[in-house]
Amino acid sequence: MHMQILGTGAAEAWPALFCNCSTCRRARAAGGKDLRSRSSLQINETFKIDLPPDTYHHMATHALDLSRLSHLFITHSHMDHFDLATIEMMASPFAHNLANAPINILGSSAVVDKINAEYQGNRFPIKTTVIKPFAPVFAGELTFTPVLAAHMPDEECLNYVISSGDSTVLYASDTGVYPDITIDYLCGLKFNLLIIECTSGTLDIPPIGHMNFESVLNFVGRLRSAGAVTSGTRVVITHFSHNIGMLHAELEALANPHGIEVAYDGMVLDV
Ligand SMILES: [Zn+2]
Ligand SMILES: [Zn+2]
Ligand SMILES: [Zn+2]
């Protein structure tokens, strides 16, 4: 699988849109890996997870050909992962000659209901599908299995296990500490790569909603005890809030000694 992490910031991006905190001032001055847009993951040519408000920037910066998109998986309805208005740009007169239309957009019933309420009729080259946790979706050369996240109390939030047959990847954004049903499922797999949100860095966090570095270590440790993570498994953290106060190099100094890599916008991962 060829993967590219398109965005690595939390909802406010990095530096945050309207923020004048010291971290955002340092990030503006540093540029490069300290510029973090809203989160999305491109997989091979035709698969993508989430549709953030920075999708145009991702397409232009990384020379993506989104006219080839066949499957778009949505994690949840927060605006940094799901910009409903952008779906309009898939339709004529804004887009022509889509290679794999209709584009399959898959997510929870909360997400699909929002799409269907806004985009009715056959002008839109999309097909929506409600998916359920732990029910695999066979999509071309890949299998996407949604797993239940712990992020919003009033919406079923999904993360994804992506498998090519040769390799298996977890994309865990957004989530808090997983429920046991998810941990038990993941413990039965063997991962080549984990991409895990670490929104809260070294800050304390509430038990539901997001991960901090300590909860990432605990999670990876549980998977390692079960044999789902081995010495060959890459672990990458992403989806950072500016409130953690740490620039990319400072995050690397924290994470790298634990064998954990820090994502940056445009990071390519071949697994
Ligand atoms: Zn988010
Ligand atoms: Zn800030
Ligand atoms: Zn969220």
Starting at the edge strand that comes first in sequence, how are the strands of the sheet with 2-7 ordered? 126-130, 103-107, 71-73, 47-49, 40-43, 2-7, 267-270
Q: 3-class SS at 43?
A: strand
Domains of the chain: total? 1
The per-residue pLDDT for 207 is 63
The alpha-helical segments, DSSP class H, found in 1-104 are: 22-30, 55-61
What is the helix (H) or strand (E) element at residue 127, kind and residue range? Answer: strand 126-130
Expressed in angstroms and rounded, the spacing between residue 242 Cα and the centre of ligand 2 is 5
Token output for 39: 């989160």
The CATH number covering residue 39 comes to 3.60.15.10
Exposed, middle or buried, 100 (CB in 10 Å: 0-12/13-18/19+)? middle
Expressed in angstroms and rounded, the spacing between residue 158 Cα and the centre of ligand 3 is 10
The per-residue pLDDT for 107 is 98
The per-residue pLDDT for 121 is 85
Expressed in angstroms and rounded, the spacing between residue 194 Cα and the centre of ligand 3 is 18
Expressed in angstroms and rounded, the spacing between residue 75 Cα and the centre of ligand 2 is 25
pLDDT in tens, the chain (271 residues): 999 999 999 999 999 999 999 999 999 999 999 999 999 999 999 999 999 999 999 999 999 999 999 999 999 999 999 999 999 999 999 999 999 999 999 999 999 999 999 998 889 999 999 999 999 999 999 999 999 999 999 999 999 999 999 999 999 999 999 999 999 999 999 999 999 999 999 999 766 799 999 999 999 999 999 999 999 999 999 999 999 999 999 999 999 999 999 999 999 999 9
Neighbours of ion ligand 2 (CB under 5 A): 16, 19, 21, 24, 242
Full residue range of the structural domain in which residue 16 is found: 2-270
Expressed in angstroms and rounded, the spacing between residue 247 Cα and the centre of ligand 2 is 11
Expressed in angstroms and rounded, the spacing between residue 97 Cα and the centre of ligand 3 is 32
The per-residue pLDDT for 142 is 98
Q: Are 269 and 234 in contact (CB under 8 A)?
A: yes
Expressed in angstroms and rounded, the spacing between residue 23 Cα and the centre of ligand 2 is 5
State the ligand closest to the CA atom of 27.
2
Expressed in angstroms and rounded, the spacing between residue 14 Cα and the centre of ligand 2 is 7
From 3, 157, 5, select the one nearest 82 (Cα to Cα): 157
Expressed in angstroms and rounded, the spacing between residue 209 Cα and the centre of ligand 3 is 8
The per-residue pLDDT for 171 is 98
